[in-house]
Chain A
Amino acid sequence: MVSPDDVEKIANLADIRLSRERLGEFTREFNAILDYFNILDTVREEARERRGEFNIMREDEITASLPQGEVLALPRDAEDGFIRAPRVME
């Protein structure tokens, strides 16, 4: 069982504000879903074949990208090739 405080902590980690009123209902639904997820405790995995190690990385080739002008035409708050954002320092 998770508590409303646990859900609020998760919401803060995920950067999503939850109102006090919705917190109770979210917690109830959360617990019903997590309870259903408990079926995963019954999973028994068959022994896995170990695969050899190999390099799956491709060569780092430089390819054309979108023109900066077109991309910076999107934000409302672009200036001199930069995008204005909220304060990072408190």
Chain B
Amino acid sequence: MKAQAAIAGDDPFNAFITRCEGKPAGTGRLAGMMVAVKDNISTCGIPTSCGSKILEGYTPPYNAHVVDLILSEGAVIAGKTNMDEFGMGSSTENSAFGPTKNPADPSRVPGGSSGGSAAAVAAGMVPMALGSDTGGSIRCPAAFCGIVGLKPSYGRVSRYGLVAYANSLEQIGPLAKTVSDVSLLMEVISRYDPRDSTMHDRLFTPRLTGEVKGLRIGVPAEFFGAGVDPAVAGSVREAIGVMEEMGACVVPCSMPSMAYALAAYYVTCTSEASSNLARFDGVRYGASDDIRKPWHDAFREVRAKGFGEEVRRRILLGTFALSAGYYGKYYAKAQAARRNVSGDFARIFRDVDVIAGPTMPTVAFRIGEKTDPLSMYLSDILTVPANLAGIPALSVPCGKVGGLPVGLQIMGKPFEDEQVLDVAYAYEQGVRD
């Protein structure tokens, strides 16, 4: 692929880091369709910064598998979207390229970390976009911006060419305004790739029937507990009620492991980040320092300058959690907690087909409102369980609170992405009629 020139254009929400000169080409299921790609997904000839200064000037010599797939179906890359640096954040405020604004209310965050992708879709700049979801990074911005976003089952979409942050948790996934567009993009990007050794060779066969008669929907009490805005909870309960009226059966259930799921998630993702991000040393590309200095001095300097505050914090937390003397207390316990989360889901799924609840505990907050890192982490409480267990999870708009969009989260059994999409489609059609 030839290098594409970056073009400047109207981008009132700062959704893009790089915009591309798109030329409609080819045939296929995405023929002529403009697709925005999150800036941590490698694009041959187009800079890929992960929202970080440390990768300044880096242009990958190859495409991520998902990028090859959308191009082969005739899509045009609209550009690379803004994101929390390396995917670390829930608001797209942690970007070296400035925050993205929420098209629903520009004084508010679009959610994160795929905030640029969600804002580009919500603002109508592109019909669909690719994001990545490590602990809610597709579903959170989809909920805050009022669009649809799917985190596929772990192993359903190739991670080849996705710049790694926390490999055991993250997946690339689609965002769009409608469930059918999300399903179409998922169908394209889920083709098998042996270059990702965690990928399963399992054909995605969309089935959007819009039928929920007899479907059993589990509703865990913990998803409506402390910290969840009662108005958001009310909106989501109403949405579940719509599906009940359509013939679904609501089954109250309980997920005790929610008590420590968020802590398990943050210990795991920071530990993996401390290892994954060790490769950014400024030697081969990106930010650099004086190479006449001794190795560690040059390395420390370039990483202090190139990484933003949240990235440094997470690398340090992960280094600490893995260090001798603390490994058993943090990392080992987090893995036990993770198994319990998977165990809770497995137990609930013996009795129900899908699980529903809010995607986020609140509507989009104001830019600059959350200054304390822990309060930002707490906003991920409802999205991280699906990543810990590797199950598919989707956010679909379900009304507004105070004029701001609310997301209904639907989680499914492992590899039943098709079912999750079908339930969301049924809801979407049910409220449309």
Contact = CB atoms under 8 A, between A and B. Distances in A.
A86 B296 CA distance: 9
20 contacts: A7-B316, A10-B316, A17-B301, A29-B372, A32-B374, A33-B266, A36-B263, A39-B259, A40-B263, A40-B329, A43-B336, A66-B61, A73-B61, A74-B58, A83-B283, A83-B284, A84-B291, A86-B289, A87-B292, A88-B295
A55 interface: no
B319 interface: yes
Interface in A31-90: 32-34, 36-37, 39-43, 45-46, 48, 58, 66, 70-71, 73-77, 83-88, 90
Contacts of B323: 10, 13
Contact of A16 (B58, B290, B304, B334): B304
Contacts of A34: 320
A86 B285 contact: no
A41 B340 contact: no
Interface stretch (B22-30, B33-41, B307-315): B307-315
Given A10-B323, A75-B284, A87-B294, A16 B312 contact: yes
A86 B374 contact: no
Contacts of A48: 339
A85 B297 CA distance: 12
B319 A13 contact: yes
Interface of B: 58-59, 61-62, 197, 259-260, 263-264, 266-267, 274, 278, 283-285, 288-301, 303-304, 307, 312-313, 315-317, 319-321, 323, 329-330, 333-334, 336-337, 339-340, 343, 372-374, 377
A15 B303 contact: yes
A77 B330 CA distance: 41
A43 B390 CA distance: 20
A6 B294 CA distance: 24
A50 B295 CA distance: 44
A43 B291 contact: no
A46 B339 CA distance: 9
Nearest to A87: B294
B283 A33 contact: no
Contacts of B288: 76
A33 B295 contact: no
B320 A42 contact: no
Contacts of A85: 283, 291, 295
Contacts of A77: 291
A18 B294 CA distance: 18
Nearest to A56: B197
Given A40-B337, A87-B293, A74 B61 contact: yes
Interface of A: 2, 7, 10-19, 26, 29-30, 32-34, 36-37, 39-43, 45-46, 48, 58, 66, 70-71, 73-77, 83-88, 90
Given A41-B333, A87-B292, 5 more contacts: A39-B263, A46-B343, A77-B291, A86-B290, A90-B294
A42 B90 CA distance: 27
Contact of B267 (A40, A66, A70): A40
Nearest to B260: A39
A29 B310 CA distance: 11
B168 to A, nearest CB: 15
A26 B337 CA distance: 27
Nearest to B299: A15
A16 to B, nearest CB: 5
Contacts of A2: 320
Contacts of B312: 16, 18
Give the residue among B59, B307, B321, B336 with the most A Cβ atoms within 10 A.
B336
Contacts of A58: 197
A40 B283 CA distance: 38
A17 B263 CA distance: 26
B339 to A, nearest CB: 7
Contacts of B316: 7, 10-11, 14, 16, 26, 30
Given A15-B300, A29-B373, A45-B336, A40 B264 contact: yes
A70 B61 contact: yes
A81 B278 CA distance: 23
Contacts of B266: 33, 37
B316 to A, nearest CB: 5
Contacts of A14: 274, 278, 315-316, 319
A5 to B, nearest CB: 13
Contact of B334 (A11, A36, A40): A40
Contacts of A43: 260, 264, 333, 336-337, 340
